[in-house]
Amino acid sequence: MSSRKGQIGRGKGQIATGRRVHKTPKRKIQTGVIHIQASFNNTMVTITDLQGLVIVSGSAGYYGFKGKRRGTPFAAHMAARNAIRRVADQGMQRAEVMIKGPGLGRDAALRAIRRSGILLNSIRDITPMPHNGCRSTKKRRV
């Protein structure tokens, strides 16, 4: 390995300024929006500020659950708990919750958020519902 003079190393979460590498400053955020997207295969948790800029995101697959176990309520609980823990370190105290999707993890993720100690301003279900739009697929007969 040859060391080149003037080369600046940059990793995730780092800003290159001149010759030194600094960590990105953590923002202090009091209020935010917690988005839960629960599908049958996975549960994704995204935490944003009030303007919509993503602070923390994670999913059941990101936290180590693979295959069929990603869609379970336990995986959704762990994904929400880990994401909330990461954002609570930045000082979040209040949040709005928006839940989308029909998955099994919606209730488990909401339970994890309630136990975290963050005060919830509102809980909204924003699952898209058709107003007699496209024809749905036929019912499965087993």
Instruction: Encode pLDDT of 87-111 as tens digits.
Output: 999 999 999 999 999 999 999 999 9
10 pLDDT tier (thresholds 50, 70, 90): low
The span from the CA of 110 to the CA of 108, in Å, is: 5
142 pLDDT tier (thresholds 50, 70, 90): confident
Looking at residue 3, what is its pLDDT? 53
Quick one: 31-125 is in which CATH superfamily? Ribosomal protein S11/S14 (3.30.420.80)
Among 31, 10, 14, 36, smallest CA distance to 23 is for 14
Residue that is written with structure tokens 């953590």 in the block: 26
Could you tell me the CA-to-CA distances from 124 to 31, 44, 54, 80, 93 in Å, in that order? Answer: 16, 16, 19, 16, 18
CB-side neighbour CA atoms (13 Å) of 125: 8
Amino acid at 63: Y
The span from the CA of 110 to the CA of 97, in Å, is: 8
